[in-house]
């Protein structure tokens, strides 16, 4: 899901909580005991057993989690504890090998009602790092009531991550021309994708075919059981909504209180997803340019339409005339690829708009450093040229297993690009090529787009933002409609996702659901 990233690329959020209505209580929490070495063990409850007919999974469901210090690999607050969970690599052959999942828990500041699992998106965002910022990602009321638990999905972050190529190669892929002008450039894009897939297959032959969202959702049920929870309580953002919806489709009877913020409709094809994101980013970009013009001295133009045209011309010019970058030990040129990532980063959060305007002013003077710095944030790239996470690599592995893509020749892609450009003149030519990374992926898809109804589940709250660039509002509407017990909260605003982003109406409704089971009013608009 190209661009469907975390709720911004930073965990820092703003918000105010509000009181809402009463409801039923939560399910039972975990049973814990202290071990001889001072660590904490979580004992699974008898009610949390494998799905029917899968007794061979019982050892995974009954494992005891040993919580202790997180170690140097995780930047965690003092109250955080970490552990590992074992899951089968292949659920069809549970005895054919295992992989480890890294978990981090920040204990409730008050009396715990149980664990609230969180996932920031991606695919490839670290839920461990996300949970470590518990004070910023949920309200104070939720912090007091729940242990905040992050589980890095298999192959992600701290869970035996897939790092198929070195940092220099990732730089090369991100800096490539994202809008091929001729068949030779298109072949270069495809050759790069093919060689990347081959590198992944060579380095990770056992697990590469088992990092799908289906696998991650099954893992999440094992984690739920190992935490001693009869039902799953979960906050998923962006791609985390697809993970949560997939879980609900597989295990509807084990759905507790799920909130899916910045939703992805699970029945979207790769092409539909790319077009949806193109129009989403176009809408967000128009909102930014309008604000830029209103503020005065906008480097793009004097009105909205001239500003949008100016931005398109700027990106096109970078294709042949990249700008110098002053700050990096390895990347010396701001290409169209890097600039597009920097622009996309700013669309995730309107608080970045002033910084984007400064970067565009500098670019107009011939300095691409500011836009490259924004692109670095998007890609989790550090000042020394290393990457703090593996999202820019594992995202392809997951997406290609989840929905795959059928290869089109250059002429067909050009035609499709023109169709995209009619809907999204700025972002259509960029997003249309998003499926090429899966055209020649070495592993066949294990799933395909389909509706998820999760019949028999508890109510599931879906949150959509009207000008969300990465997960357009229409996707939230679609998911809420598909789910048998979906309930939509609409946030009229900018940026990616809504909870804990300064809207007390959204925050209050989400908190009331987690704390008391109070289902939001029908079609609540904030």
Closest CA to 212 of 258, 243, 235, 249: 243
Structure tokens at 352: 């970045």
DSSP string of 6-70, one letter each residue: SSSSS---B---------PPPPP--EEEE-TTS-EEEEPPTT--PPTT-GGGHHHHTPPEEEB--
From 158, 210, 487, 496, the catalytic residue: 496
At a CB cut-off of 8 Å and minimum separation 6, what does 347 contact? 281, 284, 285, 288, 469, 470, 495, 496
- Give strand pairing partners of 463: 261, 489
At a CB cut-off of 8 Å and minimum separation 6, what does 185 contact? 177
Closest CA to 289 of 279, 271, 274, 301: 301
- Give strand pairing partners of 525: 490
Label each residue of 15-33 as H, E or C. Answer: CCCCCCCCCCCCCCCCEEE
Structure tokens at 106: 């920040």
Which letter does DSSP use for residue 401 in this model?
A: H
**Burial level of 493, CB count in 10 A (0-12/13-18/19+)?**
middle
Whole-angstrom distance, CA of residue 18 vs CA of residue 261: 18
Whole-angstrom distance, CA of residue 520 vs CA of residue 506: 10
Q: For this structure, is 158 an active site residue?
A: no
DSSP string of 172-194, one letter each residue: HHHHS-SS--SHHHHHHHHHHHH
| Peptide bond preceding 303 in cis form (omega within 30 of 0) | no
From 133, 159, 238, 437, the catalytic residue: 238
Of the chain, the end-to-end C-alpha distance in Å amounts to: 27
Whole-angstrom distance, CA of residue 27 vs CA of residue 231: 7
Residue 267 C-alpha from the chain's centroid = 17
From 171, 328, 468, 507, the catalytic residue: 468
Q: What angle do CA 170, 174, 177 make, to 5 degrees?
A: 135
Residue with tokens 């990532």: 341
Q: For this structure, is 468 an active site residue?
A: yes
Provide the pairing of β-strand 65-67 with 80-88: unpaired
**Number of Cβ atoms within 10 Å of the Cβ of 201:** 16
Which active-site residues does the annotation give?
238, 468, 496
């Amino acid at each position: 899901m190209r661009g469907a990233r975390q709720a911004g690329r930073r965990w820092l959020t703003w918000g105010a909580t509000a009181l809402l209505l009463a409801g039923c209580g939560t399910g039972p929490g975990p049973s814990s005991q202290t071990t001889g070495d001072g660590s904490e063990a979580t004992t699974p409850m008898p009610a949390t057993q494998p799905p029917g007919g899968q007794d061979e999974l019982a050892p995974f469901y009954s494992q005891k989690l040993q919580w202790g210090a997180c170690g140097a690999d995780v930047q965690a607050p003092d109250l955080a504890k970490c552990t590992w969970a074992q899951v089968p690599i292949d659920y069809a052959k549970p005895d054919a090998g295992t992989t480890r999942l890294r978990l981090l828990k920040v204990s409730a500041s008050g009396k715990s009602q149980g664990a609230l699992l969180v996932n920031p998106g991606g695919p490839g965002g670290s839920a461990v790092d996300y949970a470590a910022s518990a004070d910023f990602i949920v309200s104070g009321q939720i912090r007091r009531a729940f242990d905040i638990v992050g589980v890095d999905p298999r192959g992600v972050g701290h869970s035996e991550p897939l790092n198929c190529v070195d940092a220099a190669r990732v730089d090369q892929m991100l800096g490539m021309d994202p809008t091929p002008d001729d068949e030779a450039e298109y072949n270069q894009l495809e050759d790069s994708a093919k060689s990347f897939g081959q590198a992944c297959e060579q380095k990770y032959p056992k697990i590469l075919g088992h990092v799908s969202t289906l696998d991650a959702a099954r893992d999440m049920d094992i984690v739920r059981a190992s935490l001693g929870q009869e039902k799953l309580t979960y906050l998923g953002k962006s791609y985390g909504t697809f993970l949560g919806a997939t879980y609900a489709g597989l295990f509807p009877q084990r759905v507790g209180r799920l909130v899916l913020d910045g939703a992805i409709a699970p029945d979207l094809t790769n092409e539909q997803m790319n077009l949806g994101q193109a129009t989403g980013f176009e809408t967000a970009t128009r909102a930014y340019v309008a604000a830029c013009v209103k503020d005065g001295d906008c480097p793009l133009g004097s009105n909205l339409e001239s500003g949008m045209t100016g931005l398109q011309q700027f990106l096109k010019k970078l294709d042949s005339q990249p700008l110098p970058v002053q700050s990096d030990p390895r990347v010396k040129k701001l290409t169209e690829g890097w600039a597009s990532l920097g622009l996309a980063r700013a669309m995730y959060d309107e608080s970045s708009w002033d910084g984007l305007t400064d970067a565009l002013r500098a670019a107009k003077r011939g300095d691409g450093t500011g836009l490259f710095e924004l692109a670095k944030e998007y890609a989790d790239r550090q000042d020394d040229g290393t990457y703090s996470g593996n999202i820019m690599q594992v995202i392809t592995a997951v997406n290609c297993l989840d929905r795959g893509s059928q290869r089109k020749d250059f002429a067909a892609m050009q035609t499709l690009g023109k169709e995209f450009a009619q809907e999204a003149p700025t972002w259509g030519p960029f997003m249309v090529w998003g499926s090429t990374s899966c055209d020649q992926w070495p592993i066949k898809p294990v799933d395909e787009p389909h509706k998820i109804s999760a019949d028999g589940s508890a109510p599931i709250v879906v949150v959509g933002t009207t000008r969300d660039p990465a997960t357009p509002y229409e996707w939230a509407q679609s998911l809420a409609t598909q789910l048998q017990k979906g309930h939509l909260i609409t946030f009229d605003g900018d940026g990616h996702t809504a909870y804990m982003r300064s809207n007390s109406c959204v925050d209050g409704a989400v908190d009331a659901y987690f704390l008391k089971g109070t289902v939001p009013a029908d079609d609540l608009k904030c």
